[in-house]
Structure 1
Amino acid sequence: MMLDLRWTAVFAFAILLISLDEARSQGLSASTAAPVGMQTERLAAIEGLMSEGISQGRLPGGVVCFGRQGEVMYLEAFGNRQLGDAPEAMTVDTVFDLASLTKPVATATSIMKLVENGELLLRDKVVDHLPEFAPYGKDEITVQDLLLHESGLIPDNAMADYQNGPEVAWEKICQLKLVSPIGERFRYSDVNFIVLAKLVERVTGKSIDVFSQDELFAPLGMDETGYNPPESLKHRAAPTQKRDGDWMRGEVHDPRAHALSGVAGHAGLFSTATDIAVYAQMMLGNGSADTADGEARVLSPATVSKMTAAYRVSSGIRGLGWDKQTAYSSNRGDLLSSSAFGHGGFTGTVLWIDPELDLFFVFLSNRVHPDGRGSVNHLAGKILNVVVSSLVEQPRRVTHDVQPGIDVLLSNGFRALANQRVGLITNHTGRSADGTSTASILQSAPEVALTALFSPEHGIAGRLDHSNIANTKDDQTGLPVFSLYGETRRPTPEMLAEIDTLVFDIQDIGTRFYTYISTMGEAMVAAAEAKKRFVVLDRPNPLGGLNVTGPMLDEGKESFVGYTRLPVQHGMTIGEIAQLIRAEHDLDLDLEVIQCQGWQRSDSWDETGLTWINPSPNMRNLTQAFLYPGIGLIETTNVSVGRGTDTPFEAVGAPWIDGRELARHLNERELPGVRFVPIQFTPDASKYSDQLCGGIQIMVTELDQLNAVRVGLELATALHQLYPDDWQTKSLNRLLGNDQVYDSITDGDDAMTTWMKSLSGVSQFRASRPQYLLYE
C-alpha cells in the first residue's frame, strides 16, 4: 500500500532532522520545519529518482543536500557507499573524492584570495611569476586565461610526464606547446589548474593544500575538507576504484593528482556534503558564512562578484574557475537562473549555487565505484529541477558586476589592438567601470598608438545640443577630435589615413532613433571602404535585452534617425547591432566585438553595478531612458516632451492640453506599470519656451511591467481623440517610421488596434535576431 505523499514528506523530514545534527556542528543553522518558501510535497520525488538511478547502476549511492536563506533544508543519504562482499550503507557524513570540484573550491578560490590581497592581478602573465613557463609561446598566457580555460594548453599531458615526481612533472608542463591560440578557444584543461596551483605555491611559499586549508577551509570551520585525508576520515570515505589491487579509499582517484602526491590544482580535494554546504553558503553570503565560532569572512563581496560574473567563451559562459552554461553543464538542470554557477567532478560530484534563487545544491556520489561505468550528470540535473521547481518565492534581483568592453580589453592586455594605430569614436560615456576614460586608457596602453578621436551628436563631452558640431581638440589627451555630426557624418579617407583600426565605444540607449547607432553604421561603411579593422567595445543595453517592441522601420525609410531596419525597442547591445549592420548592409569588414563580461539579457542598467552617465543632455536618468522609446516617438509633433525642464521625457504638454482631462483618459486605460498625473509646466527652452503648458507627469510604478512604446502609442491616440484640431501630426512618422501605424493613429483607430498593428513584423525580426546575439 502506497503512503500519501504528504506523509512521505513528513517521514522524510523526520529523518532529515536527525541528519541535520551534522549541519549544526558545522555552524550552519538547520531547518526545524518544512523548507521556507518551498512545496515540500515535490521533494518526495528525490527519493524516487535516486532509487531509480541506483537500480540502473548509475551510482552505488550518494548524498543530496540543498539549502537557502542560511539554512540546510535537505540532507539525505541513499544507497551504499561500498558494494561487494562487505557492503556499507551511504551516510550523510561520507567523505567523497571531489575530483574536479577541486578546481573552483580550492584552486580558483585561492587564486581569488591572492587577487584581493594584491598579490596577483588577473591580467598578470603567468611568466611574471613563473618565468620557466615561457617556452613555445606560453609567455602571453594570463592568470585569467587559465581560470577561463582559454590558455591554449592541452587538456591533459601524457601520464609519462608525471612518473618521476612533481618537479619533473612541472618541467614537462613548462615544455608544452600551445594547441590553440591564446584567448580564442575554450578548451577544458586540467593542466590550466595544475599551473594555477603552482602559482599559489610560488607567490605564497605554500602548496595549494596548505594555503587553501589556512586561508579558506580552517576559517570556515570546514574540518573535514582537505587533501590526503587523515586516517580518522578515511574509514568513512567512499571508495572509488581499485589501484594495484586495493580500493582507493581516501586516496585520490585522478592518476595525475595521485602522481603529484595527492596534491594538485585540478583534483585531490576531499570533503563532505555539510562542509561543501558551508562553502556554498559563504559564496551566497558574498564571502562570509556563519560558523560555530561566529561569522567568518574569507572573500570580499567584490571578489565573489568578479569570480562568478559571466565570461563569454567560445562554447558558452564561464565564471573564473566555475561553469555557468557550457557543454559541461548537463548537471545543472534546466531551471536555475542565469546567475547560477557550479561545477562537476569526474567521480560523480556536483555543486551549483544560484544567487538569484538564494539556493545551493550539493550532489555527492562515487559513481565510478566499483567499475567506472556509472553516470550521474543527468540524474543530478533532474533532481536539481525538482528542487528548483519546488520554490514558490520570486527570485531576488541581484547585481551582476558588469564590465564593459573597455575593461575586458584592458584585462586581456589589449590583444585586439596590439601594434595598431587606432582611431577612437567616443564621447563622455566611453569609460571603464571605475570611471577612467577609454581615450586615456588607450593612450597609455602599451603597443597601442591612439592617433585620433571622433565624436558623435552632442560632441566629445556630450554637452552640445545643436546640429552642426565642429572639429576640435581634446583637452585630456591633446588629440584632434573629428566631428561626425557636422560637415560630415562619415569618417573621410583623409581622417583614416593614419589609422589601422577604428574603435567604437559609446553608450547606446536601446532605442532605434538614438543616433549613436547611425554614427557607428556610417563609420563601419567608411572602415569597410578603406579596408580598416573595426572594433566595438560593447556595453549593456540599459533597457535590458529581452523586450523587443515595434513598430518596425519600413523599408525605404532609413535615415540618420533610423539607420537600419529595427523595431523601436530592439533589445540589442551596440556590438550586436554592429553585427547586424555588417550582415544586412553586406559590408566587407573585419569586425570584432569585445563583449561585456557579466551582462545577461535579463539585466537592465540597475542590475549592472555600473555608474549611470547621462548619454546626452536631455537623457538625465534611467527612468527617462526607459520612457524614451515611447515618449520620443511624439516629440516631432507640436507637443513638449519636457525639454527645457528638469524632467525631459517624463512630462508631456502643450498650451492647448487640459492636463486633468488627458491624465484621466490615460489612467482609465490602466496601462501596466505606469500612472499619469496632471501638471502645469513652463519650459525654458525648446518647444513652447516660456509658455505655460498643461499636461501630464508620467510616473513609472512597476518598471518590470512598463512597455514604453505602448505608452507612447496610447498617448498619440489620446491626443488625436481629445485634440484633433490642435495636435499636428505631419512630422509624426519621422521617428515612427511605419506607415501602417501612422495611418492607424491619424485615421482615428482605437489604441488597441494601433498597438496590435505596431507588432507587425516584430516576430520575424525576433526570429532573425538570434544570429547576431552575443549574450544569453
Structure 2
Amino acid sequence: MNFAITQEAFPGAQVMVAHKNEVIFHKAYGFHTYDSVQPVGLTDLYDLASVTKILGPLPVLMKLVDEGKVNLDIPFSTYWKPWRKKKDKKSITLREILAHQAGLVPYIVFLNKATKGGKPKKRFIASKQSHKYSDKAYENQFVNKRFKDKLYRIVNKSEVSEEKIYKYSGLSFLIFPKVIEQLTNQSYEAYLQENFYQALGCSTLGFNPSNKAYNNNIVPTEIDTFWRKSLVKAYVHDENAALLGGVSGNAGLFGSANDILKMMLLYQNYGEFNKKRFISEKTVQEFTKIQYPTNENRRGLGFDKPLLGNDTLSISAAYPSPQSSTSSFGHAGFTGTLVWADPKNQLVFIFLSNRVYPSRSHRNLYKLNIRTSLQDIFYTALE
C-alpha cells in the first residue's frame, strides 16, 4: 500500500477482508488527496463507480427473478417496450445483456449532448433548480427532466453488433432503474433502501450523499477541468449518472467498506444474511456462475468472474488473485474500487481508493496490478 501511494497509484485507500463472515483485516492508508491534509478513515464514504451495478440494480433483478416478474431468457423488450420496434434489439435477452454478450455499445458520452465546449447547453442544464430543471447534477447545475427521455432515446437507437461475443457494456444499466420502477411500482432508490439496504443495516449505502446528513467523511474523486470546474466530492464522478440526477444503475452509489461488506456477505452466503433470506440460493448461484464459457466470456450475470484459466496465470497476468476460486465473483469500479467474494474460500476482499485523483489519467493502480497483489496476500495467509 505504501509503495502504491509513493507511485501515485492513489493518494490513499483502505482494505477490508472478511473470512468466514468475520472481519479479519481493515486498515486505512494515506490521505484523501496528495496534500496530506485529511487522512483516510475506516468509515469514509467512497464513490463506488461501477460497483454500483452489482449493489444497485442487480439485487433487485435477482429478487424479481425469484418473484417470477422477470425471466432471463425471454426478450428484454418484454419489459422495455421501446426495443420491441428495434429490429436489432427486440429479441435480445436479459441473460445476454447481463453477461455482456448482447453486442451493445460499451459506453456513450451523454455529456457531449448536454454541453458544448465544456459549457452547459441552456436547454438542458440550468444554474437554478425549478420544476422543469429538477435533477441536480452538481452544485448550481440542474438538468432538464426531459433530458432523461433524450438519453433513453439515444440508448434505444444505439447500434448493436451482429457478432455475439463478450463486450463489456454499461448501457443497459442506465435504463434498469426505469424498468425496475415499472415492475415494482416504486422508485428504484426507495425499493433498494426498503428491501435491501435498511434490512441489512447498511446506513451509508445510497445515492447523492450531498443530500444526506452523514457524519462520515466523503472521499473526493477527480479535479474536473472540463465540465464541473472543481474537485468533485459528494457528487457522482461518472458524468452519465450525474446527468440522471446522481441516481443510476451504472454508477452513483456511495458507501463505506462496512456496508459494502454486508452486501457481499449476502452474496457469498447465496442470498442469506444474519439468518434472513433475501434472495433464493438458486438465483444467486445462477447469477454468479459463468454464462458463456465456450465463447471466451468469463462473466456471470452482472458479476465479474476470474479470467478463464486464471489459476494458471502469474500474479502479474491474473485477475483477480490466481488463488481465487472459480466460484468467486465481484466487480471493479472506475474510481479505483474492487469488491470480491469467494464462497469456496469464505473470503471477501474490499478495496476502496480514489485513483482518479487528481485526474483519471492516473493509471498506476492498473499498471502495478495493486489490487490483485493485495488480494493474493490474504489467500496465501489462508494456507
TM-score (norm 1): 0.42
User: For 1:366, which of 343, 347, 354 is the aligned residue?
Assistant: 354
Q: What amino acid is aligned across from residue 132 of structure 1 in structure 2?
A: P
Question: In the TM superposition, what is the alpha-carbon distance from 1:325 to its structure 2 partner?
Answer: 2.7
2:56 maps to a residue whose letter is A
Letter matched to residue 104 of structure 1: I
1:384 paired with 2:375, answer yes
Match status 1:270 vs 2:234: no
Residue 32 of structure 2 aligns to a residue whose secondary structure is strand
CA distance 1:224–1:330, change in 2 (3 Å): farther
Match of 1:332 among 312, 315, 320: 320
Tell me which residue corresponds to 1:323. 304
Determine if contact 1:331/1:379 at 8 Å carries over to the other structure. Answer: no
Distance 2:94 2:29 in 1: 40
* Alpha-carbon contact 2:14-2:352 (below 8 Å) kept: yes
1:202 Cα deviation from its structure 2 partner: 2.0
Q: Decide which of 151, 155, 160 is 1:169's aligned counterpart.
A: 151
Deviations 1:273-305 (A, max 9, x none): 111111111112221212xxxx43221211211
Question: Partner of 1:208 in structure 2?
Answer: 188
- Work out the CA distance in 2 between the residues paired with 1:81 and 1:287: 34
How many Å apart are 1:162 and its aligned residue? 5.5
SS of the aligned residue for 2:59 comes to: helix
Name the CA distance, whole Å, in 1 between partners of 2:231 and 2:37. 13
Instruction: Give the count of matched residue pairs.
Output: 336
Counterpart Cα distance in 1 of 2:250 and 2:53: 5
What's 2:238 paired with?
254
**Distance (whole Å) between structure 1 residues aligned to residue 354 and residue 261 of structure 2:** 18
Residue type at the aligned position of 1:322: F
Structure 2 partner of 1:89: 39
Match of 1:346 in 2: 334
Distance 1:330 1:212 in 2: 33
Q: Where in structure 2 are the equivalents of 1:417-428 lying within 5 Å?
A: none
Runs of 5+ unmatched residues, structure 1: 1-49, 393-776
**2:221 paired with 1:240:** yes
- Counterpart-to-counterpart distance in 1, 2:223 and 2:212: 18
Structure 2 counterpart of 1:167, one-letter code = D
**1:62 corresponds to:** 13
> Does the alignment pair 1:125 with 2:75?
yes
2:323 counterpart letter in structure 1: L
Quickly say closer, same or farther: Cα 1:321–1:234, change in 2 above 3 A: farther
SS of the residue corresponding to residue 218 of structure 1 reads helix
Give the letter for the 1:265 counterpart. G
Q: Matched residue of 2:305: which SS?
A: strand
Per-residue deviation, residues 615-653 of structure 1 (Å, max 9, x unmatched): xxxxxxxxxxxxxxxxxxxxxxxxxxxxxxxxxxxxxxx
2:279 equivalent in structure 1: 299
Tell me the amino acid that sits aligned with residue 386 of structure 1: I
Mapped pair 1:142 → 2:122: no
Which amino acid is the alignment partner of residue 241 of structure 2? A
Distance 1:269 1:330, change over 3 A: farther
Structure 2, unaligned runs of 5 or more: 115-123, 125-146, 311-316
TM-score (norm 2): 0.83
How far apart are 1:365 and its partner, in Å?
A: 0.5
Is 2:290–2:297's contact at 8 Å kept on the other side of the alignment? no
Q: Give the direction of change, closer, same or farther, for the CA distance of 1:56–1:350 in structure 2 (3 Å limit).
A: same
Tell me how far 1:326 sits from its aligned partner. 3.8
**Which residue identity lines up with residue 44 of structure 2 in the other structure?**
T
Higher-Rg structure is 1
SS in 2 for 1:90: coil
234-243 or 110-119, which moves further after superposition? 234-243
**DSSP-derived class of the 1:278 partner:** helix
1:204–1:162 distance in 2 versus 1, CA, 3 Å: farther
CA distance in 1 between partners of 2:49 and 2:76 (Å)? 24
Please give the alpha-carbon distance, in whole angstroms, between the structure 2 residues aligned to 1:305 and 1:235: 34
Q: Aligned partner of 2:263: which letter? A: Y
Please report how far the alpha carbon of residue 330 of structure 1 lies from its aligned counterpart in structure 2 after TM superposition: 5.2
TM-aligned CA deviation for residue 157 of structure 1? 2.1
State the Cα distance separating 1:316 from its structure 2 match.
3.1
**Mapping for residues 441-480 of structure 1, pairs under 5 Å:** none
- Shift in Å, 1:234: 7.8
Shift in Å, 1:83: 3.1
1:337-394 Cα distance to aligned partner (Å, 9 max, x none): 11111110000000111111011000000111112214324101001110001113xx
SS in structure 1 opposite 2:15?
strand
Query: Kindly tell me: are residues 233 and 369 of structure 1, through their superposed partners in 2, closer, same or farther at Cα, counting changes over 3 Å?
Result: farther
More contact order relative to length (CA 8 Å, sep ≥ 6): 2
Q: Secondary structure at the match of 1:62?
A: strand
Structure-2 change in CA distance of 1:366 and 1:158 (3 Å): closer
Determine the C-alpha separation between the residues in 1 that align with 2:320 and 2:213: 33
Partner amino acid for 2:156? C
**Distance change >3 Å, CA 344–CA 335, structure 1 → 2:** same
Shift of 1:166: 1.2
Change (3 A) 1:331 1:51: farther
C-alpha change, 1:177 and 1:207, in structure 2 (3 Å) is farther
Structure 1 residues 391 and 318, CA, compared in 2 at 3 Å: closer, same or farther?
Answer: same
